[in-house]
Structure 1
Amino acid sequence: MRRAAKRDSNHAEIVKALRANGVMVLDLGAVGDGCPDLLAGALGRLTLLEIKDGAKPPSARTLTDDQVKFHREWLAAGLPVFVVETIEAAIAAARNPGLWE
């Protein structure tokens, strides 16, 4: 039996800020198996976002083995997953097409 996914303390505020900035957000936090926390849509693009709490020590912000595998597989298909710790980083990843290049 799988445990319920733990959300980082900044998860809700990042979702709220993304939506306030015109970004469509689908919360994927309960999917598991290394799937990122959010699917964000803006400017005709979809972006996968993995939220980490920047207030935690670096050891508590590391990706799990499942997350590393997911990120690697999706990046190999040309679909990066952005790891974000702040509202500003999340908005930039979702709204800045230049990050894809």
Structure 2
Amino acid sequence: MRRAAKVDANQPEIVQALRQAGATVQSLAAVGSGVPDLLVGFQGKTALIEVKDSAKPPSARCLTEDQLDWHGKWRGGTLAVVCDVDSALRVLGVMKRGELMEAF
């Protein structure tokens, strides 16, 4: 039996900031199986973002085994783990410059 998708407490704030910066954002949290939380489109580019809550202790912000496995197999473009609005907006900066980013 699959559990309901959990969304980190800071995810709505991050989604709002990304949208205000001009990105389109789709939550993928319900997919599970290690798939990142957010699908982000910005200036013709796409990124996947895993959201972790910076209010939690570092041990609670680690990627799960499913996430580590999924991230390790990803062969696409930008994939990032963010803990706050500033780090999420930095992902948009990387997308704007066309750099490849993989941040854990």
TM-score by length of structure 1 reads 0.90
* Superposition map of 1:26-65 within 5 A: 26-65=26-65
How far has the Cα of 1:79 moved from its partner? 3.1
CA positional deviation for 1:88? 1.2
> Deviation at 1:11?
0.6
1:15 to partner: Cα distance:
0.5
Extract unaligned runs of 5+ from structure 2: none
Cα offset for 1:50? 0.2
| 2:20 corresponds to | 20
Structure 1 unaligned spans of 5+: none
| TM, length-normalised to structure 2 | 0.88
- 3-state SS of paired residue (2:87): helix
In structure 2, what is the Cα distance between the partners aligned to 1:58 and 1:68?
16
Residues 13-48 of structure 1: per-residue CA shift (max 9 Å, x gap): 101111111001011010000000001010211000
Q: 1:83 aligns with which of 81, 92, 95?
A: 81
Q: Aligned residue pairs: how many?
A: 99
Equivalent residues of 1:46, 1:94 under 8 A apart: no
Paired residue secondary structure (1:66): helix
Contact 1:54/1:61 (CA < 8 Å) preserved in 2? yes
Instruction: Decide whether the 8 Å contact of 2:18 with 2:88 is kept in 1.
Output: yes
> Which 4+ residue blocks in structure 1 deviate beyond 4 angstroms?
none
Picking from 93, 96, 99, the partner of 2:94 is 96
